[in-house]
Structure 1
Amino acid sequence: MNTIIKQRFSVPFEYPVCFSENIFDPENRSFAAILEQGKQVKTFFVIDSGVAESHPDLIQNIQEYAKAYESIFYLCAEPVIVPGGETCKNDPSVYEKIVEATHIHGIDRHSYIVAIGGGAVLDMAGFAAAISHRGIRLVRVPTTVLSQNDSGVGVKTSVNSFGKKNYLGTFTPPVAVINDFEFLKTLDDRDWRSGISEAIKVALIKDLSFFEWLEENAIAMADRQMEPMQKQIIRSAQMHLDHIAGKDPFEFGSSRPLDFGHWAAHKLEHLSNYRVRHGEAVALGIALDSTYSYLKGMITKGELDRIITLIQNLGFELYQPELSGENLLKGLKEFQEHLGGQLTIMLLEKLGKGVEVHEMDHDLILQAIGMLQEWNALAPTKH
């Protein structure tokens, strides 16, 4: 006898993405309001080492804030400081340290892990939270442009393994995301501009008007003007959230339009031993796939020129030596493996509209790389 019982249920997800400043000033109730449950809750903080160094009073501010709102939450242990960047995702002992802390301090599914840092730290801490007790509540406090406008507002957690980016991970929505613009003021120029590449990405595949806005404000953002940067972050975050709420938030299929420019970016990061930062690699990946789109006759030379000009006006390089040779092409196969099915690459049909393809011409990829190398030599970055 063959018997099949089909199970079906749905679980709604909802979480706020807040934009604020000085969130650990006792006069700012935003953070405490996120944790408020009518009873005192246990919290454990994970802090990016770069953030801790740039904000030496941060831990003291957190402790004083906790005292001010002790009826809402308390610190179960001293915050743990973890290395920032891909280092924390490459070394398993880092996320294991957080998992161990959940055991030592009795951090359970009704407690909160609060991760403060760039996208890599948020990915890693989110992974540790997701696999402990099958999911401890996570509050993300992104501190870079890239994590505030893209990676920090989404539902992914991950660490790197087997030499592959994000090989281990989960889809686990946070309880809340709190973007504190004050953290951006201490970023170096590379990290300041790096995250803008994700805004270019989403604008190119979804919204011509946003792309035009980026063109108009590129120089101002490169010059570290805060107002346009804040507007860019909020608009980009909204577009990423709108996409996540669409048809396939947990990416069961092979369609991943928000990975425009990322197949090459992920491989470039690894080939450079993460000397090239994620946002820088994405900018280069966008330039590569846009040039490829032009060589395939999908966009005009004028459209390509606008994309390249925007990328250069923001201060990005168009070429890195790791792009040479066949090693980059291995990234296509690895990307397909990461998708878990058919190769699906987002290219451009026109500015503001992406189109998916299922194969790439290796000769044209190499030709596109050559063009980027030539342009980079002729027109060095301005910032």
Structure 2
Amino acid sequence: MNVIQQSFQVPFTFNIVFTKDLFSTENHEFSKFLSNFGDNSFQKKILFLIDAGVAEAHPKLQNAIKTYFQGVSNINLVEEILVLPGGEQVKNNTKYLDETLLAINKYGIDRHSFVAAIGGGAFLDMVGYASTIAHRGVKHIRIPTTVLSQNDSGVGVKNGVNFLGKKNFLGTFSPPVAVFNDTNFLTSLSDRDWRSGISEAVKVALIKDLPFFEWLEANALAMANREMNIMHEQIFRSAALHTNHISSGDPFEMGSARPLDFGHWAAHKLEYLTNFEIRHGEAVAIGIALDSIYSKLLGLISQEDVARIITLLKNLGFTLYHEKLGENDKLNLWEGLNEFREHLGGRLTITILEKLGKGREIHEVNFELMKQAVDELKMTLD
């Protein structure tokens, strides 16, 4: 038998830039990046796609982009700025993926050119997936516009769309070439969307950083009251924890461990059970509370620890129970566990809490205890 063993490494480097008024003609961060990236002997182009909710909330945005690029000499702005729906709708219906791919083809976006997506996490997921599969990968730039996408999903390496009723059934691991977090986009968020993304900060603090969890406790009411400087610090610290984990561990998830998905197995199922009536971050808050109670029932954390977690989430404004959790004698949740197992490649791995600030991976769930955790969670409504 003859064997050729091949091994190679591909380095990935990208910056997450924190700024304000990204497309102000006085802000040169974006144009500086484009000028310094890649080979300028090629004629580079850039195609913009905007989440419809963002376009509606910021009606001057498209004109601002066009005016901005009048002062950028080394890259051509594609004449059409594509506006598509945001939220899970853009991931559930493949026609939006098709529209994105058709635009990439129509305007000749090649591997030296860019696709820039401005929107929430779901919107970035879809555009990133389209960018990854077109020409086996064109360069994509993320401009997240929600708290959740600025502190978690938008700064990572995952892209995807939903298919066959399963979240992110089609997807890739493909880093963006840059992320630009513009605080100006946060000003137009509804209270629900403002709050929703903070759950991802709670998640990463609980499994990785006790001092950050304590900071969140101390500043929960300030964030709920929309104090921008506090929210900005939360986003920065959360993004740093998420990206540090990706760079130091298993960025493309070759194994089955997904510690950053603490609280997510139930959240993913709950989103589908409610037909995405609840936001992803709202579902994650419920999932965090559920898995925290389960951790207590396993004897790992105390009732006092759980009370601190519940109090923090409530102070942020979250409702921590949904009737779909108990529906069908909780068998829908059992189905959710099995779907999560399948998504991980056949071996269940979920993260629970060993203590505040430290997660622990487990590979099986006592579903009777999990059902008890659901019942205890329901009591938080009282």
Fold shared, TM-score > 0.5 on shorter chain: yes
Note the C-alpha offset of 1:77.
2.7
Map 1:23-62 onto structure 2 (within 5 A): 23-37=22-36, 38=40, 41-62=44-65
Percent of residue pairs identical: 57
Map 1:1-383 onto structure 2 (within 5 A): 2-37=1-36, 38=40, 41-69=44-72, 71-324=73-326, 325-376=330-381, 378=382
SS at match of 2:13: coil
Single out whichever of 316-325 and 259-268 deviates more from structure 2.
316-325
Which amino acid counterpart does residue 335 of structure 1 have in structure 2? Answer: F
SS at match of 2:361: strand
Note the C-alpha offset of 1:60.
0.3
Which amino acid counterpart does residue 89 of structure 1 have in structure 2? Answer: K
Q: Unpaired segments of 5 or more residues in structure 2?
A: none
Which amino acid counterpart does residue 55 of structure 2 have in structure 1? Answer: A
- The C-alpha deviation readout for 1:178-210, integer Å capped at 9, x for no partner, is 000000000000000000000000000000000
Mapped to 1, the partners of 2:62 and 2:19 lie a distance apart of: 19
TM-score between both structures, scaled by the size of structure 2: 0.97
Note the C-alpha offset of 1:247.
2.4
SS at match of 1:245: helix
Which amino acid counterpart does residue 21 of structure 1 have in structure 2? Answer: K
Note the C-alpha offset of 1:375.
1.2
Note the C-alpha offset of 1:341.
3.2
CA root-mean-square deviation: 0.8
Note the C-alpha offset of 1:72.
2.7
Mapped to 1, the partners of 2:249 and 2:199 lie a distance apart of: 24
8 Å Cα contact 1:35/1:41 also seen in 2: no
Aligned residues: 375
Note the C-alpha offset of 1:122.
0.2
TM-score between both structures, scaled by the size of structure 1: 0.97
Mapped to 2, the partners of 1:135 and 1:375 lie a distance apart of: 47
SS at match of 2:48: strand
Mapped to 2, the partners of 1:345 and 1:139 lie a distance apart of: 31
SS at match of 1:9: coil
- The C-alpha deviation readout for 1:63-105, integer Å capped at 9, x for no partner, is 0001021x13221231100101000000001011111111111
Note the C-alpha offset of 1:212.
0.1
Which amino acid counterpart does residue 32 of structure 1 have in structure 2? Answer: S
Which amino acid counterpart does residue 377 of structure 2 have in structure 1? Answer: L
8 Å Cα contact 1:261/1:282 also seen in 2: yes
Which amino acid counterpart does residue 42 of structure 1 have in structure 2? Answer: K
Mapped to 2, the partners of 1:11 and 1:356 lie a distance apart of: 29
Q: Unpaired segments of 5 or more residues in structure 1?
A: 379-383
Which amino acid counterpart does residue 30 of structure 2 have in structure 1? Answer: F
SS at match of 2:104: helix
8 Å Cα contact 1:32/1:72 also seen in 2: no
